[in-house]
Every structure is written in C-alpha cells, then in structure tokens.
C-alpha cells in the first residue's frame, strides 16, 4: 500500500479494509456504497474538475461557433460544443450524487468555481485567436482528453465509468471533426498553413501541461493515491508519453513543426524526451492567472448571477412541463 494513505486508520477501520479488498478485487463502487472520505473527496475533486472543464471548455470554442467558415463547419462545431455542455451536465450529475451526503449541491460547485477553489483544465484558460485554434483544440486537446478518459474508463467508481463511456464515444467524433479542420488548413493556402502552424506552436506547451506535472517534480499531485484507489491506472507522465506516440508523427506528417528542438524518441528506452513546459506557469494558469481566466470566469459568473431570477422561477413554477406539448 502506498504510504500516502493513512495506515493507522486502515488498521482501525474494518470498513476501510473491506473497501480496499473490493478495490483490489476489481469491484466497482456505486454511489450508495460505503466509501472512505478521501476516496469520495478525490472523486469529487477529479470529476467536478472534469465536469466544470467541459463547461468552461465550451467558452473558447464558442467564440468560433458563429465564425466557423462554412455552413457545414458551423453545424459541426455547434454540435461539438453542445456535446461538451452535455458532458459537463452528465459529470455534474455524477458529482451531485457524491456531494449529497455532504449536504452540498451544484450551486456550491459553481460558487467554488467562481471563487477559484474549483480549478478547471489549464487549456481552457488560454486564448483561441484564430479558426485554426478551434481546429487544434478539437484535434489535439480532445485527443489528449481521449487518452486520459480512456484510461479512466477502468476507474473503480462505476457512475464515472458509465459517464465516460458515452463521453469517450463522442470525443472521438470531436477529434475527427478537429482533424478534418486541421487537414483542410494543412492542405490549404500558405496563409491557412501559417494560421495552423501558429496555432500548433501556441498550443504545444498547454498540451504538455494538460496531463499534469510529472510525479517527483516540484508540483505535488494526488496521482498515487488515485492509483491506489484505482480511480486511475496510469501516471501523468505515462499518459503524456501515449500522447507523443500518437500525435508527434502525425503533426510532422502534416509538414508542421513543434516548438521543441529537443523532442526525440529514444528507441532503446522506449521513451520520448522533450522539453518540460514551465510548471510554475502551469500553477499560475490553473490558479486563474492565465490569459483568459478572468474573462471566461466573468462570462460564466455574470450569466449565472443574472439568471438567478430564472432559476427562482423554475423552482416556483408549477409542474409546467407536464403541460408542455399541449395545444398552443
């Protein structure tokens, strides 16, 4: 057992021992099952961050929804952003069940988001100044997300695994949608290619950061605890390596370059060597000091606050839903 969990408590607590046996057996945990507090807390932290990232992630892409160049692209990106909001909704429902015994709800989560206590993915703090950014986000950010989410399909928490099954299926379409945008630009005019190259260069450090800091670095993380509980099965670095395997050659194949002269695959070691992104900057970004953090949080916060009257109306409305669909 990892020394990061509390061994004294494990000894004292028969329930914990049984819980860990279940985990070791590969049992899946359901929302109503007994679970230790740190398991619940890790799940809340992980899934609420995932959920709120989906929702905050809609904002940089939303900027490009009306501007998508053709009718076909407009329809595709509208569908994509709608899916992301749907994922957010699905995940927040999973978190709501975990929060319920603590007497908390979705409103508390959103308040935590506004106060900065609840973080969202570093990538969604960044600027998306061109159409190529919309393509790169869908191709590589969603591609990176597929890698982490595919790992999490095996998570010990069953409701999260079920949500992820649907999410992963849809994310694959998103990555294809992104790849299609990127290919069109890569095969396009010099200006289109330049727009694409700039976007790849701009997004590269954020993509590396997406997987989180490596263990043993200056930034602490909860990956080992999460692995003990089989909430996840691979480290940040292992996932980043999967990303390199999958994408570096594809990026080169499009005739694009990466802003890292040192990146290379070591056949003997079976490992990609690369230039570490600035992890201090990563910490700053997820703390809400990224280039677009304040603006996007303000968007979310303003709309939430200004719609309070609507939520009040929803609570007060007699079950109007049953009447819907009646004659006009």
Partner 1 sequence: MSEHSYVETAEEARRNPEYVRALQELLFQAADDDYILAYRGAEWLGLAPHIEEDVAFSSMSQDMMGHAAMLYEMLEELGAGKADDLAHMRSPDAFRNAIIIERPNGTGDYADQPHYDWAYAIARYSLYGVFKQIRLEALAYSTYVPLAQAAGKMQREHHYHVRYWHMWFKRLASSTDDARARLNAALEQVWSDIGELFLLGRASASIVGFGLIAGEDDISQRWMNATRNMFASNGIDWPGDWGVPVQKGREGQHTDDLAQAVSTLSEVYRLDPAASW
Backbone angles phi, psi at 29, to 5 degrees: -95, 135
Q: Smallest gap, in angstroms, from Cβ of residue 150 to partner 1?
A: 24
The smaller minimum CB distance to partner 1, of residues 20 and 68, is found at: 68
Of the candidate spans 136-144, 147-155, 223-231, 303-311, the one that interacts with partner 1 by CB under 8 A turns out to be: 303-311
Nearer to partner 1, 245 or 311 (CB): 311
The verdict on 294 binding partner 1 (CB under 8 A) reads: no
Residue 98 tokens read as: 């975990």
Q: Which is closer to partner 1, CB of 41 or CB of 89? A: 89
Phi-psi region of 215 (alpha: psi -120 to 50; beta: other; left: phi over 0): beta
Closest CA to 244 of 226, 223, 270: 270
Contact with partner 1 (CB under 8 A): which of 151, 224, 283, 299? 299
Q: Which CB, 39 or 120, lies closer to partner 1?
A: 120
Stretch that binds partner 1, among 155-163, 188-196, 213-221, 254-262 (CB under 8 A): 188-196
Query: How far apart (Å, rounded) are the C-alpha atoms in residues 315 and 124?
Result: 32
Per-residue string for binding with partner 1, 13-32, x by CB under 8 A?
A: --------------------
Residues 73-112 vs partner 1: string with x where CB under 8 A?
Answer: xxx--xx-xx--xx-xx--x--------------------
Mask 40-79, x = binds partner 1 (CB under 8 A)?
Answer: ---------------x--xx--xxxxxxxxxxxxxx--xx
If residue 179 lies in a helix (H) or strand (E), which one and from where to where?
Answer: helix 158-186
Closest separation between CB of residue 125 and partner 1, Å? 15
Q: Angle 142-152/236-253 helices, nearest 10 degrees?
A: 140
Q: And the tokens for 175?
A: 């990555």
CB-CB contact of 85 with 58 (8 Å): yes
CB of 265 to partner 1, least distance (A): 33
Q: List the one residue from 21, 107, 187, 280 that touches partner 1 (CB under 8 A).
A: 187
Q: Where are the beta strands (DSSP E) in the chain?
A: 264-266, 271-273
Cα→Cα distances 286→58, 60, 117, Å: 17, 16, 10
Answer whether 273's CB lies under 8 Å from 263's CB: yes
d(CA 164, CA 155) in angstroms, rounded, equals 10
Total of residues contacting partner 1 (CB under 8 A): 58
Q: How far apart are CA 201 and CA 207, in angstroms?
A: 10
Encoded tokens for 91? 């995940």
Q: What is the dihedral of CA 211, 212, 216, 221, to 10 degrees?
A: -130
CA distance 288 to 116: 7
Site string (156-185) toward partner 1, x via CB under 8 A = ----------------------------x-
Q: Does 323 bind partner 1 (CB under 8 A)?
A: yes
Minimum CB separation from partner 1 for residue 309, in Å? 5
- Residue ranges binding partner 1 (CB under 8 A): 55, 58-59, 62-75, 78-79, 81-82, 85-86, 88-89, 92, 131, 184, 187-189, 191-192, 295, 298-300, 302-303, 306-307, 309-314, 316-318, 320-321, 323-328
């Amino acid at each position: 057992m990892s020394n990061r969990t509390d061994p004294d408590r494990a000894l004292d607590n028969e329930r914990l021992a049984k819980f860990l046996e279940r985990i070791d057996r590969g049992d899946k945990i359901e929302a109503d099952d007994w679970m230790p507090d740190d398991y619940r807390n890790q799940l809340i932290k992980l899934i609420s961050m995932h959920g709120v990232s989906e929702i905050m992630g809609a904002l940089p892409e939303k900027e490009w929804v009306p501007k998508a160049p053709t009718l076909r692209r407009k329809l595709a990106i509208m569908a994509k952003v709608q899916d992301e909001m749907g994922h957010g909704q699905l995940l927040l429902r999973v978190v709501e069940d975990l929060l319920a015994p603590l007497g908390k709800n979705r409103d508390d989560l959103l308040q935590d988001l506004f106060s900065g206590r609840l973080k969202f993915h570093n990538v969604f703090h960044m600027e998306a100044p061109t159409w190529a950014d919309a393509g790169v986000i869908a191709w590589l950010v969603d591609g990176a997300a597929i890698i982490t989410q595919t790992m999490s399909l095996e998570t010990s928490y069953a409701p999260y695994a079920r949500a992820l099954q649907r999410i992963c299926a849809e994310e694959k379409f998103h990555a294809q949608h992104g790849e299609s945008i990127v290919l069109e630009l890569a095969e396009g005019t010099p200006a289109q290619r330049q727009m694409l190259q700039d976007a790849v260069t701009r997004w590269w450090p954020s993509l590396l950061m997406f997987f989180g800091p490596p263990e043993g670095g200056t930034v602490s993380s909860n990956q080992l605890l999460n692995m003990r509980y089989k909430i996840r099965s691979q480290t940040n670095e292992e996932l980043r390596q999967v990303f390199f395997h999958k994408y570096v050659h594809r990026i080169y194949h499009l005739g694009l370059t990466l802003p890292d002269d040192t990146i290379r695959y070591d056949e003997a070691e079976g490992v990609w060597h690369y230039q570490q992104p600035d992890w201090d900057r990563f910490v700053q970004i997820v703390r809400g000091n990224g280039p677009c953090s304040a603006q996007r949080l303000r968007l979310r916060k303003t709309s939430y606050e200004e719609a309070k009257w609507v939520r009040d109306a929803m609570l007060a409305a007699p079950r109007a839903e049953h009447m819907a669909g009646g004659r006009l």
